[in-house]
Amino acid sequence: MTKSFMTGFGLLIGLVLFVTVNIFAGSALHKVRVDLTEDGLYSLSTGSRNILANLDEPITVRYFFSKKVAESSNASSLAAYNRRVRELLEEYAAATDSIELIVIEPEPFSEEEDEAVGYGLTGARINQAGDRMYFGMVATNSVDDESVIPFFDPSNEQLLEYEVTKILSDLATGSKKIVGILSTLPIRGSQASPPGMPPQQPQQPPWAIVSQIEQNFEVRWIGPEGITEIDPEVDVLMLVHPKDLSDATRYAVDQYALKGGKIMAFVDALSNFDPSANQRDPMANRTSNPHDLLSSWGVELVGSRMAGDSEAAQQVPSENGTLFFPLFMGMKGDNMSEDDVATDNLDLVNMFTSGILTTRGDATTTVEPLIRTGTESMQVDTIKMQFQPDLKSIADTFVPSGERLTVAVRITGDIQSAFPDGAPADPNAEEATPDETTTEDGEGEESDEEEGTEGEDEATEPDEPEDTHLAASEATFNAIVVADCDMLYNDLWGRQQRDLFGRVFIRAIADNHTFIINSLENLCGSSDMISLRSRGRYQRPFEKKLELQKEASESFRAREEELQAKLLKTEEQLADLQKERTDTGGQLLSEEQEQMIQRFRDEQVQTRKDLRQVQRDLQQDIDGLGRRLKFFNIAALPLVILLGGLLFSTSRKILR
Amino acid sequence: MRNTMVVFRRELAGYFGTPVAYVFLIIFLALSGYFTWFVGGMYETDQADLQTFFTFLPWVFLALIPALCMRTWAEERRQGTIELLLTLPISAGQAVMGKFLAAWCFTSVALLLTVTEWVTVNYLGEPDNGVIFASYLGALLMAGSFIAIGSCISSMTKNQVIAFVLSLAVSLGFILIGFLQDIPFLTTFLPAVVVDALRNMSFLTHFGEISRGVIDLRDLVFFLSLIAFFLFANTAIVDIKKAD
DSSP A590: P
DSSP A377: E
pLDDT, position A448: 41
Give dist(CA A44, CA A46) in Å, integer.
7
Neighbours of A464 (CB within 10 A): 11
Encode pLDDT of B192-236 as tens digits.
667 777 778 889 889 988 988 888 888 999 999 999 999 999 998
The amino acid present at B228, given as its one-letter code, is: A
The model's pLDDT over A537-559, given as tens digits with 9 standing for 90+, comes to 556 778 788 777 777 766 766 77
Give pLDDT tens digits for A513-522: 888 988 998 8
β-pair partners for A469: none
Amino acid at site A36: L
Are A378 and A351 in contact, with CB atoms under 8 Å apart? no
- Give the CA distances from residue A64 to residues A89, A228, A427, B57, in Å, rounded to whole numbers and listed in that order: 12, 51, 63, 36
A281: helix, coil or strand? coil
Separation in Å, CA A236 to CA A219, A427, A521, A525 = 10, 28, 9, 9
Please judge whether B37 and A642 are an interchain contact, meaning their C-beta atoms are less than 8 angstroms apart.
no
| Higher per-residue confidence, A212 vs A129 | A212
- Asked if A287 and A269 touch (Cβ cutoff 8 Å), the reply is yes
Q: Which residues of B touch A543 (CB under 8 A)?
A: 48, 124-126
Nearest residue, CB atoms, A544 vs list B125, B221, B243: B125
| Omega before A224 within 30 of 0, i.e. cis | yes
Q: What is the pLDDT of residues B64-96, one digit of tens each?
A: 999 998 888 877 777 777 777 767 778 888 889
**CB-count exposure of residue B139 (10 Å: 0-12, 13-18, 19+):** buried
Cβ–Cβ under 8 Å, residues A406 and A372: yes
- pLDDT at res. A526: 63
How far is B186 from chain A, CA to nearest CA, in Å?
11
Three-state secondary-structure class, residue A414: coil
Confidence at B187, pLDDT banded by 50, 70, 90: low
Answer whether B128 sits within 8 Å of A39, measured CB to CB: yes
Q: Which residue of B has its CA nearest to A73?
A: B182
Distance CA A359, CA A298 (A): 6
Which of B129, B214, B229 is nearest residue A33 as measured by Cβ atoms?
B214
Interface size between A and B, measured as CB pairs under 8 A = 160
Do B215 and A34 make contact, defined as CB atoms within 8 angstroms?
yes
Contacts of B123 (CB under 8 A, 6+ apart): A544
The CB density around residue A244, as the number of other CB atoms within 10 Å, is: 12
CB A166 within 8 Å of CB A529: yes
Residue A211 has pLDDT above 50, yes or no: yes
Q: What is the pLDDT of residues A352-382, one digit of tens each?
A: 999 999 999 888 899 999 999 988 899 998 8
**Parallel, antiparallel or unpaired: strands A178-183 and A218-221:** parallel
Residue A295 backbone dihedrals phi, psi, to 5 degrees: -60, -45
Average pLDDT score, chain A: 79
**Residues of A with CB below 8 A from B129's CB?**
38
Query: Nearest CA to A408 among A376, A373, A378?
Result: A373
Nearest CA to A107 out of A65, A146, A145, A136 is that of: A65
Query: Do the chains contact at A635 and B30, CB–CB below 8 Å?
Result: yes
Q: Exposed (0-12), middle (13-18) or buried (19+): which is A605, by Cβ within 10 Å?
A: exposed
pLDDT at residue A500 above 90?
A: no
Closest to A518 measured CA to CA, from A163, A222, A188? A163
pLDDT at A450: 40
Under DSSP, is residue A411 helix (H, G, I), strand (E, B) or coil?
strand
Taking CB atoms and an 8 Å limit, are B236 and A540 in contact across chains?
Answer: no
Sequence-ordered strand ranges (E) for A475-520:
477-482, 494-498, 504-508
Q: Which residues of B fall within a CB distance of 8 Å from A10?
A: 232, 236
A114 CB-contact burial (10 Å; exposed 0-12 / middle 13-18 / buried 19+): exposed
The residue among A173 and A164 whose pLDDT is bigger is A164
Contact (Cβ atoms closer than 8 angstroms) between residue A23 and residue B221:
no
ipTM of the complex: 0.81
Q: Average the pLDDT over A427-436 and give the result.
A: 47
Average pLDDT (A175-189) is 86
Please list every residue in chain A whose beta carbon sits closer than 8 Å to the beta carbon of residue B49.
540
CA distance A621 to chain B (A): 14
Concatenated DSSP letters for A537-574? ------HHHHHHHHHHHHHHHHHHHHHHHHHHHHHHHH
Range A315-341 average pLDDT = 82
DSSP state of A174: -
Note every long-range contact of A114-119, with CB atoms under 8 Å and residues 24 or more positions apart, other chains counting.
Answer: A115/A62, A116/A64, A119/A62, A119/A146, A119/A148
What is the per-residue burial (b if ≥16 Cβ within 10 Å, else e) of A64-93?
bbbbebbbbbebeebbebbebbebbbebbb
Asked if residue A631 lies in contact with residue B37, where contact means CB atoms within 8 angstroms, the answer is: no
Calculate ∠ Cα B8-B14-B20, nearest 5°: 125
Residue A313 confidence class, pLDDT cut points 50, 70, 90: confident
Q: Please give the full DSSP string across A218-245, using - where no structure is assigned.
A: EEEE--SSS-S---TT-SEEEEE---S-
Query: What percentage of chain A exceeds 90 in pLDDT?
Result: 13
Most B CBs within 10 Å: which of A30, A44, A65, A634, as the mutation test of the B interface? Answer: A634
Exposed, middle or buried: residue A538 (CB in 10 Å: 0-12, 13-18, 19+)? middle
Q: Which of A583-597, A638-652, B159-173 has the lowest mean pLDDT?
A: A583-597
Average pLDDT over residues B2-25: 86
Grouping H, G, I as helix, E, B as strand and the rest as coil, residue B216 is: strand
Q: State how far the Cα of A447 lies from the Cα of A439, in Å rounded to an integer.
A: 7
The residue in chain A having the minimum alpha-carbon distance to the alpha carbon of residue B33 is A634
CA distances from B206 to A85, B209, B220 (A): 18, 5, 8
Beta carbons of B126 and A68 less than 8 Å apart? no
For A9, the enclosing helix (H) or strand (E) is helix A3-28
Pairwise CA distance, residues A228 & A429, whole Å: 14
Cα A651 to chain centroid distance, Å, stands at 67
In terms of Cα–Cα distance, which of B116, B128, B122, B124 is closest to A549? B124
- Say how far apart CA A459 and CA A466 lie, in whole Å: 15
Question: Percent helix, strand, coil in chain B (nearest 5)?
Answer: 85, 0, 15
A375 CA to centre of own chain: 19
Radius of gyration of chain B (CA): 19
A453 band by pLDDT with thresholds 50, 70 and 90: very low
Question: Which residues, in sequence order, are CB contacts of B114 under 8 Å at separation 6+?
Answer: B29, B32, B33, B53
**Residues 6 or more apart in contact with residue A221 via CB below 8 angstroms:** A180, A181, A188
Closest chain A CA to residue B241: A4
The number of C-alpha atoms within 13 Å of B17 and in the hemisphere containing its C-beta is 6
Confidence band (pLDDT; 50, 70, 90) for A81? confident
Q: CA A223, CA A221: separation in Å to the nearest integer?
A: 7
CA separation, residue A559 to residues A402, A563, A566, A602, B223 (Å): 17, 6, 11, 19, 59
